[in-house]
Amino acid sequence: MNKDIKINLLLSGLFGALIWALSPYIVGHTEPWDSDTYYYFASIGVVGFTLSLIRPNNLWAYATGIFIGQFLYILVFLPIGPLLVVGTIFLLFSSAVCYFSSMAAKLLKESYKHG
């Protein structure tokens, strides 16, 4: 695994965990998807978009990293319950938001570069 992939995984993983760590303070819920706001999906999208503007290579690593960061945060800091499998599947699908927002940022950046 090359250095760029490791950096992308690390950055997105840290931001994934940070989304969960800040959730009680921002939306009042320990699980951000329990909120009536768009905080969770907006945060994931902003992370993917912003990181891709800065480092537009290996975009898959952002989605993978944000999944790993969130999953590890849940395992370490939250009580494990019977819905862990369902939550993990939801994390996988929500990581797609990170991938698509990072792809949008990369395409936007390339369109400005060429035109």
Residues 13-70 pLDDT 10s: 999 999 999 999 999 999 999 999 999 999 999 999 999 999 999 999 999 999 999 9
Alpha-carbon dihedral 101, 71, 28, 62, rounded to 10 degrees: -20
115/4: higher pLDDT: 4
pLDDT for position 1? 84
The reported pTM is 0.94
Please tell me the total count of domains within the chain: 1
What letter does residue 56 receive in the DSSP assignment?
-
Backbone phi and psi for residue 80, each to the nearest 5 degrees, phi listed first: -85, 130
Structural domain containing residue 20: 3-114
> In whole angstroms, how far apart are CA 22 and each of 26, 56, 110?
6, 26, 32
Distance of alpha carbon 44 from the chain centroid: 4
Amino acid at 39: Y
